[in-house]
Structure 1
Amino acid sequence: MDLEFNESCVETKSAIHSWRYRHHFTYKADQGKNIIVQCNLCLPRVNLLSTSKTSTSNLKKHLDRTHLGCEARPDAKRGRKKEEYNGEESGHCQLKKLKAEIMSKCMTQEKIDDLVFNYIVEDCQSFQILEQPGFRKLIMGLTEGLQPMDRVILFSKVDLSFSKMRDELMAKLACVQYVCTTADLWTVGKGRFFGMTCHWIDSGSLERKSAALAFAMMAGRLTYDSVAERIHDIHVAYGIESKVQTTVTDNASPFVNVFKEFMLDATDCNNDIGVFENVGVMLEGEPEQDMLLFLPTIQRCASHTLEQIVTEDFWRAVSQGPMCQLFYTSMSKVYSIWSKCHQLQVGMEVAEEIRKMALFVPAIIRWNVEYCALQKIVSLTERELTELSARLDVPRLQPEEMDFLKEYVTVFHPLAFALELFQAEQKCYLGLVIPTVLSLKNKLSEHKDSSKYFGDVVVTIVRAIDTRFRELFASNEARFATATTPQFRLWWLAASEREDMCSLLATEASQVDPCDMIVVNTSQNISTIKSEDDFFSYGSPKLTSHIQERGVTDEIRKYVDGTGKSLECLQDFPRVKQLFLKYNTTLPSTAPIQRLFSEKGNLATSQRNFLTDDYFERIQLLRYNINVCSVLNC
């Protein structure tokens, strides 16, 4: 393994160039008056040596002491000159740093274990992959001989990481004043999974934080009291039973009746709001009346309510209207296109070739997903649509049918926009629901008179919105949440009602604990909300003055008169900020728990990995809480 020491390696020719034993060393770096070389006889161990450019004595010393069998044995009688130590001690520290830097880049067993653990948790991989020969060869080849951990070590790392995640999450929740949870039950095969997520707003940054609390198999008979006990136990386990403002569930969820029985202030729910499934089939048995369980109030999912309006009221109006036949013929042809593109790769390639873009094909049975796919269809020109139908061998849409679908997309665009708002998580609050519903009604009504096909359908949908959201509009919690959201304030109320709402806000703000208020003097930041400004339109924003200490009524009045949309302006109104945290911690929909259940591979992982219910839950919680807790090592 010969090395050519030439002028390209070092700035000036050194003594090692003419040394007959230079082939035992490899040049690495230039270091002032010295050079750094690696001993080839010490491989595979990395051994870096420093020697003067004008002397090879240090290298001869290494060969003499370490490699006695090589031909480079120096004359034993020859003594070392004092000059050989020149520069050796001065470059010792730099040599150690360079060696440490090179070694730090090398893979270690601990780092390999951490990377494999992260890969299994983040991608929900089977634990059995650790025993697959191909995976083990891959790791050994990439790491020059290091082996992946076995399943025993993996289980230990899961236990340790879960314990760390749980402690960190409980510490975060201990510092939070208000919390909202979402809960749901999913049935897969013969098993039922119970899931719960937790949400809060950081009092400093006003950013929403989310975490998963449970993802467990519900064993045994499913009854009202068993579900209530599971919810209560999770709240107690994380120390949030007194902080939970509401628990958000689907309208058709069995939790609706559970909360009616065990809610602290149980009231009869309006049967006109929402349509429920057969709860008796899912939850058998009567609740135990002497069970000392108290659950927080329940919040109906606004997104699910809108979906019910589409799937029930809309379809009922369409099927009974004069455009019934036109609607079914148009949609059947659209479904034919989707079916061909979904089943055959050639169909998707044809669509991309014609339009030079991917044709969106709905894979989930949800109205807003179907609406987005329909938008793609109506965006095609007549020539493109004719060519697409011919190449896919599907019936072609007639001009009247295209006009019908275009009006459908135009008229119900506000409904799709509202659903997207409700299904958000980071910037979605309970205070968003009332303004969204009011704006939705106005946008739909604008199309009533000009609509050729959907005039009667719009009237039916507006009537259904009034019926299904009646309870929400009567809720003081929802009204306070809207009033304390700077983007809306009181513009959604009639002028005659604003004075009364100011009085209610002042009364509610007067009950705020002064110890909870932190006045932060920050410059007003008026944000521009481009897409939502087209949906929520009101006066131009103006700056509000900073406040130090003022009376409750004065603070409420100045807040109401302002028009800044950013949450940052709440820093100038400490009492309003506290009310915002209290009422807007609640989410308007169950979108987070739906995402927890619907993520790829979640519910199938338990059987695929042959995991116990306990370890299956731990993996899912570690995976979901990556962003809120430092549960992974890399």
Structure 2
Amino acid sequence: MMSEFAAPKIVFEAWYLKEFFEFKSHINKNIYVQCKLCLPTLKMLSTAMNSTSNLKKHLEKMHPSTLSKFQKDNELNPRKRKVDTSAEEVNRQTKKIHICKESASNSACIFGLTQGKVDALITDFIIEDMQSLNVVEQPAFVKLIQSLQPSKTVLSKKSLVSTIEKRYSAMCRNLAAHFTSVRYLCTTADIWSTHNLSFFGTTVHWIDEISLVRKSAALSCTRFKDQHTFDAVASVLEQIHANFGINDKVQMIITDNGSNFIKTFRLHGDPESSSVVNPDKTLNSDRSEENEEVEFTDMQSAMQLESRNADNFQYSLPAHKPCASHTLNLIVAQDASNAMTVPSYKKMYFSTMAKCSALWNKLNRSIHAAEVVWDELHTCLIVPNVTWWKSQYEAVDKVRLLSATCENGLRSVCEKFKLPVFPQTEINFLGEYCMVMKPVANALDILQGEKNCYIGFLLPTIVSLRYRLQSIRHDLKLANPLVDAVLKGIETRFASSFESEELILAAVSLPQFRLRWCMEEHIKQKARNLLKNHMIQLSATQDETEKTTESAVVLDDQEDFFSFGSSNSGNVDYVGSVLQQLELYLCSSDKSLDCLKTFPLVKEVFIKHNTAIPSSAPVERLFSVGGHILTPGRSHLDDEHFEMLLLLRANKTFVNY
């Protein structure tokens, strides 16, 4: 009988049980009690030994007022609550805590990280955070890892290098394997010079044919030891494509307007596309190549070239398209100087920009000057980068904004620096200059996109830029010559782009534009006919493929006997279906790429002609990351392992290690 009452004693330690319930019996794992508050009505309740929730629910439902009063009194007078402080209870609680700690320790041992997982996490940290390989030998880092995982060791630098090499090999194999299922590819290429070293960088881009999402990866950032001649560039490009087996899949290569790249594709590129993708002849002029490296050719290299030509040595490269953002940068950096032919504009421009340059030079030479600017204006000025025009626009725009919002503060800064202040006429000129250049800067941002940008953006962007520049001419008083010079540069450098069937098809097959960008009727009709003809060709090709597939199917005797010659696959009116699909597509208002799944022929045109991107900005971003890896303090990092670290980090979102 004692055993029956001993077990429920633990259950009745809850504060509300002894006050409201009377124990009656104990059967197996259940106990039966009587509610004291329900008297004289006999209310018997059943509850489990390890759970009394139903008893508390009874109080909350049937006696809420009494329960709330008891809780309030119990909180005001905590001494009323009886606490079991016996030695037996203390030992029981201590034992329970000890068991929990031991269980947690065992769980950590069982479910803790393995040595392989620790090594993988350390390698991820080195690659993604662009850390030095010597970090694994630093005492503080070793102490950190061993403090977190006492039973594990930190891999050595030699093991780390071996792990990186294995990852790099696996990444290259995975990329090559993935490219086997991709039909169309586009690559970008550029040459990067740093620390007296040159590297040849290449990125690759394609469109997933199911999700229509843009995919990208880095292919190389290899050391380029040869002279930057056209045949050396062709050799490296062809070798990189061959390493991944994509020579026949690359539809277009995007590079800047450097003379070596232009000559490379003029001599070794696709001859059928030369008239389409080659830039205007002005791009090859001395003026457009002013910032490019000068190509020297000695007698030895000339003799080697003649020897190669004698042996019919010829590279085979895909079509080429100059970087649109670089071309636009040339327009505003060089063609805009034609506005200087107007004396009044030239005088105003040089006077205003001289004051801006003096302010920027002061900030570059003195830390105290930057502190003065912060104290007076509560912001920092932007100092332009001479190699990229947009930084100059942003710097000028910052001065314009401060002159409009903090005119007294800017005047005070100029006076403290003993520089001439900006008169109101020059402030007005800064406003008009930024009004002209803002659409150009926005166009550059659009064309330098990667994930959601396609080469079909090029023509609509140029059309929109031209329209916006023309629409602000009547609002200008001082910068009209600048607008004329920029518009003339756009017409000159992008004239051949509007004759390119590839670019027209790319633009019209984008649901975001369709035919809306065609401002002239003859261009609209040309774009419509091009899309229609390509859709008819695709439909005919697909029909021929289906008939070939059907003829290859072997029928058994019974199926062949009852065929009756009723197949009408050879009489399909695919032209009518194409025209219907074309009209539905052009009339649709859906601008999302998902709508292309409803128009399979347009989708095919889109994938083929929009695989390329309009700018070589992705490879420049690759070089930017490389600058954080190849720092002066890592002089012992060899070229091969630098490339491995850079490509592993660049492809981390694509390659599953």
TM range (shorter): 0.7 to 0.9
Q: Could you say if the C-alpha distance between residues 395 and 620 of structure 1 is closer, same or farther in structure 2, counting changes exceeding 3 Å? A: same
1:27 equivalent in structure 2: 97
CA distance in 2, matches of 1:221, 1:428: 33
**Given the alignment, which residue of 168, 182, 187 partners 1:181?**
187
Q: Which residue of 2 aligns with 1:300?
A: 322
Which residue is equivalent to 1:376? 398
2:267 is matched with 261
- Is the 8 Å Cα contact of residues 254 and 279 (structure 1) preserved in structure 2? no
Cα deviation code 1:77-110 (max 9, x no counterpart): xxxxxxxxxxxxxxxxxxxxx6664446755543
**Residues 1:410 and 1:115: Cα distance change in structure 2 (over 3 Å):** same
Which amino acid is 1:314 matched to?
A
Structure 1 or 2, whichever has the larger Rg, is: 2
1:334 match: 356
Deviates more, 1:289-298 or 1:273-282: 273-282
Mapping of residues 102-181 of structure 1, within 5 Å: 102-103=108-109, 106=112, 108-144=114-150, 146-181=152-187
Tell me, yes or no, if the aligned pair for 2:189 and 2:202 is still in contact at 8 Å: yes
1:564 pairs, out of 570, 590, 606, with 590
Could you tell me whether the CA contact under 8 Å between 1:194 and 1:215 is conserved in 2?
Answer: yes
Offset at residue 569 of structure 1 (A): 1.7
Residue 282 of structure 2 corresponds to residue 272 of structure 1? yes
Q: Does 1:624 align with 2:634?
A: no
Supply the AA of the counterpart residue of 1:468. Answer: R
Please give the secondary structure, in 2, of the residue aligned with 1:245.
strand
CA distance in 2, matches of 1:358, 1:105: 52
CA distance in 2, matches of 1:105, 1:373: 55
Q: Give the letter for the 1:396 counterpart.
A: V
Q: 1:17 to 1:331 in 2, by over 3 A?
A: farther
Residue 173 and residue 300 in structure 1: after superposition, are their counterparts in 2 closer, same or farther (change >3 A)? same
Higher mean displacement: 395-404 or 353-362: 353-362
Pick from 426, 445, 451: which aligns with 1:401? 426
Q: Counterpart of 1:476?
A: 501
For residues 115 and 384 of structure 2, what CA distance do their matches in structure 1 show? Answer: 45
Equivalent pair of 1:309/1:465 in contact (CA under 8 Å) = yes
> How far 1:403 sits from its partner (Å)?
1.1
CA contact (8 A) 1:273 1:469 kept: no
Aligned amino acid, residue 152 of structure 1 = K
Residues 481 and 217 (structure 1), Cα distance of their counterparts in 2 relative to 1, 3 Å cut: same
Residue deviations 1:24-66, cap 9 Å, x none? x6716xxxxxxx344xxxxxxxx43xxxxxxxxxxxxxxxxxx
| 2-structure distance, mates of 1:105, 1:363 | 53
Q: How does 1:67-106 map to 2 (within 5 A)?
A: 101-103=107-109, 106=112
For residue 614 of structure 1, report the CA deviation from its aligned partner: 1.9
Aligned partners of 1:173, 1:100: CA distance in 2, in Å?
A: 47
- Give 5+ residue unaligned stretches, structure 2: 1-12, 15-49, 52-82, 546-573
Q: For structure 1, which segment, 419-428 or 584-593, has the greater mean C-alpha deviation from structure 2 after superposition?
A: 419-428
**Deviation sequence 1:347-371 (CA, Å, 0-9, x none):** 4455445455554444574221221
Gap change, CA 1:229 and 1:37, over 3 Å in 2 = same
Matched, 1:315 2:340: no
Residue 200 of structure 2 contacts residue 222 of structure 2 at CA under 8 Å; is this kept in 1? yes
Question: What secondary structure is seen at the aligned counterpart in 1 of 2:468?
Answer: helix
Match of 1:211 in 2: 217
Deviation for aligned residue 1:304 = 0.5
Is the CA contact (8 Å cut-off) linking 2:630 and 2:642 kept in structure 1?
A: no
Q: Is the 8 A contact 1:448 1:458 kept in 2?
A: yes
Greater Cα offset, 602-611 or 615-624: 602-611
Instruction: Return the TM-score normalized by structure 2.
Output: 0.73
**Aligned partner of 1:400: which letter?**
T
Name the stretch that deviates more: 264-273 or 186-195.
264-273
Point out the structure with the larger helix share: 2
Once residues 371 and 452 of structure 1 are traced to their aligned partners in structure 2, the CA distance between those partners, rounded to angstroms, is 20
Give a deviation string over 1:464-515, Cα, whole Å, max 9, x none: 1111112211111011111111121122332244334322212111222539
Q: Decide whether aligned partners of structure 1 residues 102 and 604 sit closer, same or farther in structure 2, where only a CA change above 3 A counts.
A: closer
Q: Shift of residue 580 of structure 1?
A: 0.7
How much does 1:247 deviate? 0.3
Q: Is the 8 A contact 2:127 2:648 kept in 1?
A: yes
Report sequence identity in percent: 33
> 1:126, 1:605 within 8 Å by CA — same for their partners in 2?
no
Structure-2 residue corresponding to 1:281: 296
Matched letter for residue 280 of structure 1: E
What residue in structure 1 maps to residue 205 of structure 2? Answer: 199
**Post-superposition shift, 1:212?**
0.3
Per the alignment, do residues 153 and 14 of structure 1 end up closer, same or farther by CA in structure 2, a change over 3 Å counting? farther
1:414-563 paired onto structure 2 within 5 Å: 414-493=439-518, 494-512=520-538, 513-514=541-542, 551-563=577-589
The answer as to whether partners of 1:124 and 1:601 remain within 8 angstroms in 2 is no
- Contact 1:422–1:428 at 8 Å: present in 2 too? yes
The residue that corresponds to 1:62 in the other structure is: none
Distance 1:14 1:563, change over 3 A: same
- Offset from partner CA, 1:550-596 (integer Å, 9 cap, x none): 71122122222233322222111111111111111111010001111
Residue identity opposite 1:471 in structure 2:
S
User: For residue 64 of structure 1, what is the aligned residue in structure 2?
Assistant: none
Counterpart of 1:385, as a letter, is L
1:360·1:372 contact (CA, 8 Å) conserved in 2?
A: yes
Aligned length: 530
Aligned-partner Cα distance in 2 for 1:144–1:389: 61
SS in 1 for 2:344: coil
Letter in 1 for 2:240: I
- Alpha-carbon separation, structure 2, partners of 1:613 and 1:374: 40
Q: Secondary structure at the match of 2:262?
A: helix
- 1:472 and 1:358, CA in 2 relative to 1: closer, same or farther beyond 3 A? same
Describe the superposition over 1:337-395 as per-residue Cα deviations: whole angstroms up to 9, x where unpaired: 33444555554455445455554444574221221232222122212322333455544
Partners of 1:122 and 1:180 in 2: CA distance: 26
**TM-score, length-scaled by structure 1:** 0.75
Inter-CA distance 20–313: structure 2 relative to 1 (3 Å threshold): closer
Indicate the SS of the match to 2:135: helix
Q: Are the aligned partners of 2:226 and 2:232 in contact in 1 as well (CA < 8 Å)?
A: no
User: In 1, are the aligned partners of 2:130 and 2:629 still within 8 Å (CA)?
Assistant: no
Deviation (angstroms), 1:622: 0.4
Deviations 1:214-257 (A, max 9, x none): 11002345543332222112212212211111000101251221
Match of 2:67 in 1: none
2: CA distance, partners of 1:242 / 1:580: 19
Give distance in 1, aligned partners of 2:544 and 2:122: 44
Change (3 A) 1:567 1:353: farther
CA 600–342 in structure 1, closer or farther in 2 if over 3 Å, else same: farther
| 2:414 maps to amino acid | S
Q: Which of residues 239, 251, 257 in structure 2 aligns to 1:251? A: 257
- Equivalent residue letter for 2:398: K
Which of 131-140 and 193-202 deviates more?
131-140
Correspondence for 1:574 among 583, 591, 600: 600
For the residues of structure 1 that align with 2:523 and 2:319, how far apart are their CA atoms?
A: 27
What amino acid maps onto 2:296 in structure 1?
Answer: V
- Could you say what secondary structure the match of 2:222 adopts? strand
Alignment of 1:19-58 (within 5 A): 27=97, 36-38=99-101, 47-48=102-103
SS of the residue corresponding to residue 254 of structure 1 reads helix
Question: Shift in Å at residue 600 of structure 1?
Answer: 5.8
SS at match of 2:199: strand
